[in-house]
Amino acid sequence: SKLQQIAIDGPAGAGKSTIARLLARQLGYLYVDTGAMYRAVTLKVLKQGLDPGDEKEIADMLTETEVDLIPATEGLRVILDGEDVSDAIRTPQVSQAVSQVARIPAVREKLTIWQRALGEKWPVVMDGRDIGTVVLPEAEHKFFLTASLEERARRRYLELKSKGYTQSFESLLEEMALRDKMDSGREIAPLKPAEDAQIIDTTGMTIEEVVNELLKRLGGNT
Ligand code: C5P
């Protein structure tokens, strides 16, 4: 039977993770947060004191790196080499370095293989930057979620604040704009909608409204 794959891509802070997680729960599919994988690799790079631009060192590090995503009641737990790093991967330090690490071909190659394996084994809702274009090009349903930069920065600001992090709105906005620019401009698997993706601008929509919109567009089609 046909694989059940739903790809959700878009820029930082478009609400992809929350929406993908809720959608997966509704459908009974596995939720795969590919950004969490790039963040986990980046956390290890920083912990080991490596330069996030050093391709050779990072490629070597990867041969001894394992990242697992474990479904839990409160979303996904992210396990790096046996250690739960679900919170540690969300710090501003990781956010600021991740796009540089995500540009490295060896990193993308390894994570793409893991992500495809999950999509071939389970019905998935997978979110990221290159899911519809590169990781799951055959996915039956592809969505590209966007929102204005201001709204995305505001959402991320409130989310971080609720978790006890303090980063100014202005610096968050700047960081997200830079990250989007790097993600869209890179050579391998840049951030862009797949040709057959449905683009949804979520500016002014609540999480519930977006989830309902996606469910409506999926129709009885899952
Ligand atoms: O989704 P999230 O904002 O957590 O992703 C963090 C970073 O990981 C992105 O800014 C991007 O550099 C990288 N990423 C990627 N490809 C994906 C998912 C994330 O390059 N499929």
**What residues does each domain of the chain span?**
5-216
Name the burial class of residue 63, with classes exposed (0-12), middle (13-18) and buried (19+) by CB atoms within 10 angstroms of its CB. Answer: exposed
| Residue in 198, 195, 191, 196 with CA at minimum distance from that of residue 216 | 198
Q: Is the CB of 103 under 6 A from ligand 1?
A: no
Shortest-distance atom of ligand 1 to CA 42:
8
What local confidence, expressed as pLDDT, does residue 24 receive? 95
Shortest-distance atom of ligand 1 to CA 131:
21
Contacts of 3 (CB under 8 A, 6+ apart): 119, 120, 123, 138, 140
Two structure tokens written together for 68: 């697992």
**What letter represents residue 191's amino acid?**
L
Torsion sign across C-alpha atoms 18, 29, 132, 46: positive
pLDDT beyond 90 at 2: no
Q: Is the CB of 98 under 6 A from ligand 1?
A: yes
pLDDT beyond 50 at 153: yes
| Residue 70, strand partner residues | 77
- Distance (Å, whole) CA 91 – CA 87: 8
| Residue in 17, 55, 75, 74 with CA at minimum distance from that of residue 210 | 17
Half-sphere exposure of 120 (CA within 13 A, CB side): 8
pLDDT beyond 60 at 137: yes
**Domain 5-216 belongs to what topology?**
Rossmann fold (3.40.50)
Q: Is the CB of 94 under 6 A from ligand 1?
A: no
Average per-residue pLDDT for the chain: 94
Determine the residue of 31, 32, 38 to mutate for testing ligand 1's pocket, defined as the one with the most ligand atoms within 8 A of the Cβ atom. Answer: 38
Above 0.90 for ipTM, yes or no? yes
Q: DSSP label at 197?
A: P
Q: Is the CB of 180 under 6 A from ligand 1?
A: no
Q: What is the residue with the minimal CA distance to atom 2 of ligand 1?
A: 35
204 Ramachandran zone, left/alpha/beta (phi>0; psi -120 to 50): left
